[in-house]
Amino acid sequence: MKGLRKFSFRANEGQVLIQVALFLVVLLAFVALAVDMGMAYARRRQMQNAADAGALAGAWELCFGNPSAAKTKAEQTATQRNGAQQAEATITGGWRVDMTASIVVETYLAGVIGISEVPVSAQAAAACSGTRNLCNVWPITFHKERFEQIPCNEQFYVWNDDSLEDGALQVQFPDGTTGTMPVCDLCECDVAFGSPDGNSYLISTANRGWVNFPFPQTPYVPEPCVNNCGANQLICIIGGDYNAPLDFRSGGICLPGQPGVITSVLHEIDVNLNREANLLLWDRACTAGEPMTGTCPGTGYHIVGTGCFVALGTPTVDLRKKAEYRNVQILSSGWLRNNTYCARNIKTVLGEKKCGCASTCGSTSGTGPPAPGEVRGVSLINPDQP
């Protein structure tokens, strides 16, 4: 009996040793997975940074650099500057970069369970598109359809006299009958508002408005410009002291404003000539039920796009009658009633439309290439976004 008990004890002892050994193997496997998978996760974050950086670098080339070099630039940025072993960039439509960055991570402990290396990869996408989050913007808005009719690098005049309008005029003909005539049919608009190449582009007060900006939100510091809803705010913003972005990615925003003339604003434009300024484009008046961005009162402009121009001056313009209509008398208020001039000393802003301007902050729509004249921006977008 004693010998049997001794044999049974040793057999149990052997089974315990086997169980402990198996447990140690399982425990080591879990430790290996925890340590090596932690290392792989850290590399995964590194690859995400590499993919993001590569996609942004490629999109920047598409927007502002050399589009033919976008693919190479994206892949080199991911590998040479951000630690990826492999990088593959795909350019779509000349405005979008899809990026995959990858690396093979060698394991430290997982080799005991047959895992000697772990492949790690990450994806990102970036777009050169029209910006929907804009800074460095002047508080002026043009009607989108009218602004898009002006070619890039073409000069145009902004009609800035609230007593005049470039629509139809009430007139009296030499035979005593009355009717209407468009301003530029009756008057020499092509001469008064012509650009050096002979084209005439005019934005009327009906297609232009001043807008008030909202108080900046965190993390942007309070701006000295946003202290009232009048001319002083507009002057301050034109001077470059409003740096917070305006966000209208979700289908547009309503900004309060006014269509009239503010002479003091013209003086501020005069001291800020010959520099690119971003501006806002509106497509319609806001309805009474739509929420207004900011707290200022005024007409609501529905902001849906962006543009860019350079202010060249604030000249006053004389508008003569066409020779064949010298005897047609203008009946509309604010216009001259003589045979030579339709109006004199019209207040205007002379500008030049620019294309390819950039927004230094914010993000893009990411739904397609920038429209002609639209302010361009570069930002990451959802890789799954079509």
Burial category of 243 from C-beta neighbours within 10 Å (exposed 0-12, middle 13-18, buried 19 and up): middle
Per-residue tens of pLDDT for the chain, all 386 residues: 454 455 454 555 555 566 555 656 665 665 556 665 666 667 788 889 999 999 999 999 998 889 999 999 999 999 999 999 999 999 999 999 999 999 987 666 555 555 667 788 999 999 998 887 777 788 899 999 999 999 999 999 998 776 677 778 999 999 999 999 999 899 998 899 887 777 778 888 888 888 888 877 666 666 677 767 888 888 888 887 676 777 776 678 899 988 777 778 888 899 889 988 888 999 999 988 888 888 888 779 999 888 999 999 999 999 999 999 999 999 998 899 989 999 999 888 999 999 888 876 767 878 888 887 888 889 898 888 77
110 backbone dihedrals φ, ψ, rounded to 5°: -70, -10
- What's the rounded Cα separation, in Å, for the pair 368 and 251? 15
The answer to whether the CB of 245 falls within 8 A of the CB of 328 is no
- What's the rounded Cα separation, in Å, for the pair 58 and 47? 16
DSSP per residue, 111-135: GGGT--EEEEEEEEEEEEEEBSEE-
Contacts of 299 by beta carbon, 8 Å cutoff, 6+ apart:
209, 256, 257, 258, 259, 285, 286
The answer to whether the CB of 356 falls within 8 A of the CB of 64 is yes
Handedness of CA 175, 177, 183, 184 (dihedral sign): negative
So where are the chain's domains? 2-129, 133-362
SS3 (DSSP) at 187: strand
- What's the rounded Cα separation, in Å, for the pair 127 and 381? 7
pTM over 0.85: no
- What's the rounded Cα separation, in Å, for the pair 249 and 56? 20
